[in-house]
A and B are shown apart, each in its own frame.
Chain A
């Protein structure tokens, strides 16, 4: 009965969104904007969501969510255009797409590749939406049993796993980035005793650092500096032919699409890991399970489908921990969390009580955004690729202006700019030295949660850490954290290898 009621509510919400011309216009407009953002190398869906957060500040929450989720979905998909047509990934999420997408375009099959990726991306988003609807109530109910220790460990785990999986160089650097984010979150008056920490007498810091300007700085400024400094010329885009995909090809690839979507949802649900990793893992899986792995890299449709389905499925996956635990599954989801908090919505286990239909609203938006993305992709792809001809030195400074006015407009505070720019410059250096930015951002977001819950938990236990070992979820999280840390040490790997060897040898028949 409850399930039927939820399905009915879901369709009522979706129906009311379609029937309102303003929502529909915002849906299509934001998807198109997202595609344009994703298509232009140098601009990312995270930056798109960040900049639009400022524009949606005055909207009501459902409208703002339509806008932000649509740009997220569109931006993730839009990256494939540049990957396929000029061999430069529009976003990091579409990096794996270039491996087979560009050879396809060189063979004159760019239109076919884009048609298939559009369809696969839409299916990926819809599959992930199904998971948001079906898994969320379970996780939410499970999370209601969490105490402060679990939330502290969960936040800690989020930062560690994000640092581990997103570090382009050493894993230690990913962890350092995460703890730097936690440090930034410590700035301001603490939540329990209102004591000023690291404010150095600056009154603007007393209320803590504003998350959204820091995120805009962390993602926007390094991008602007990198693109302008490189002064790279964009190659000429390959020509597009027929875009409407052959449905026979789509049907033949349905198992691959579903598998990639599941990979995307799974990776999206892990805190702090983005669409790029989903794309690579899915591409690798498709290659490893293929009967003809040698065709990958030479224009294999399955390769393009695998990465594009997974990165879009990651969008819904990232929503699952965000909505149910308050932990963002990806950098754009971190941005969404910031936007939600600005609108007075605090994601977490209490979400289903405070905003009973919110998760269904998100699911409905994902469904509509995927459909809008497919329609826009099919109709406007040939026009959208023209943005690839816009020189980057012309649009990057405009993005700079948007970053600045956007940061200022959230709270009408010039101090936000004084914070945003230095954070951006520091993040530029960190990025260049192999420190990932995602864990830093996750740290900034999860810092208050970790701090508050650690102290609250210790208050309840009178300073004892024993509950960590007495509660099953805490214990599991603790063990995972310890194993994640240990797995980075050579001596641990050697011991594991040794044990594996022993077990393997012992199990051999004499």
Chain B
């Protein structure tokens, strides 16, 4: 949590957002049937589906206003002006470039890419390996200085993979090579590993961490995935080339 003084300044803005949310809730609730009939039922105000959202919206608005009032009382107009000045100052630029901020971008970007791009479209095992390796290289064997470059690699990879899938190219190539997007992700994994291998091989301490990262990066998805897929019988979100191979091994006739 940030310190009290900064918190009060931030409260002015978060409180305003909360008031706006309250208004949105109330405005949406006003569109719901109040006294008019819905689905053949004549409404009265106290059974209206709008009643509870209106109450919640009103409370959110009221509490948001109270928060803004408390914050303004605490920091005064000068405090709010300081916030606007801060956004225009070099300090804000420094904050945006600080290691902790860049780490935050890296974490959120990786999570979003994994959830919105990889999980629904790429073999779960490959996606999970890439996800883990990125995190391990970001925070375990990589340094903060490497982070911007790694983030650039993620952005580039996302654009390439996104374009490959969303332009329909993947669908066409899949007719010749099934699960072609999986191979593209496999290629990203190889590039990532090769890059860090080259970068870290001269540093024995980091190289040891690199080897451990590789081991866990490959082992963990297989352990988790196999438990969910074959013991808990949960189908993977997207079953691609690795699941296809695992299925062939798991359900092979030789075991029976």
Contact = CB atoms under 8 A, between A and B. Distances in A.
Nearest to B57: A183
Interface of A: 55, 57-58, 168-170, 172-173, 175-176, 179-180, 182-183, 186, 190, 192-195, 197-198, 221, 224-225, 228-231, 391, 393-394, 396-398, 400-402, 404-405, 408-409, 412, 414, 417-418, 420-421, 425, 431-435, 450-451, 454-455, 458-459, 462-463
Given A58-B233, A186-B56, A418-B115, A432 B2 contact: yes
25 contacts: A58-B233, A169-B7, A172-B66, A176-B63, A182-B52, A183-B60, A186-B52, A186-B53, A186-B56, A197-B49, A198-B28, A225-B107, A229-B104, A231-B144, A394-B213, A400-B135, A401-B131, A408-B234, A420-B115, A421-B111, A431-B1, A433-B2, A433-B10, A433-B14, A434-B7
Nearest to A462: B46
A401 B16 CA distance: 35
Contact of B224 (A192, A197, A225, A401): A401
- Taking chain B's interface residues, is the majority helix, strand, or loop, or is none over half, making it mixed? helix
Given A55-B232, A433-B2, A172 B45 contact: no
- Taking chain A's interface residues, is the majority helix, strand, or loop, or is none over half, making it mixed? helix
Contact of A168 (B1, B55, B114): B1
Contacts of A409: 228, 232, 234
A452 B39 CA distance: 19
A409 to B, nearest CB: 4
Contacts, number: 179
Contacts of B234: 405, 408-409, 412
Nearest to B217: A397
A466 B21 CA distance: 31
Contacts of B191: none
Contacts of A169: 1, 4, 7
Most buried by B among A55, A176, A450: A176
A325 B25 CA distance: 29
Nearest to A173: B67
A408 B119 contact: yes
A458 B216 CA distance: 58
Interface residues of B, number: 73
B178 interface: no
A97 B153 CA distance: 44
Contacts of A229: 100, 103-104, 107
A401 B139 contact: no
B185 interface: no
Interface of B: 1-2, 4, 7, 10-11, 14, 18, 21, 25, 28-29, 32-33, 38-39, 41, 43-49, 51-53, 55-57, 59-60, 63-64, 66-67, 70, 100, 103-104, 107-108, 111-112, 114-116, 119-120, 124, 128, 131-132, 135-136, 138-140, 144, 212-213, 216, 220-221, 224-225, 227-228, 232-235, 237
A439 to B, nearest CB: 12
A412 B235 contact: yes
Nearest to A174: B63
A197 B228 contact: no
Contacts of A228: 103, 107, 135, 138-139
Nearest to B69: A172
Contacts of A432: 1-2
A198 B216 contact: no
A231 B1 contact: no
B7 A195 contact: no
Nearest to B120: A414
Given A231-B144, A393-B139, 16 more contacts: A169-B7, A172-B67, A172-B70, A183-B56, A195-B33, A195-B49, A198-B28, A401-B131, A405-B225, A414-B120, A414-B237, A425-B111, A431-B1, A451-B52, A455-B48, A455-B51
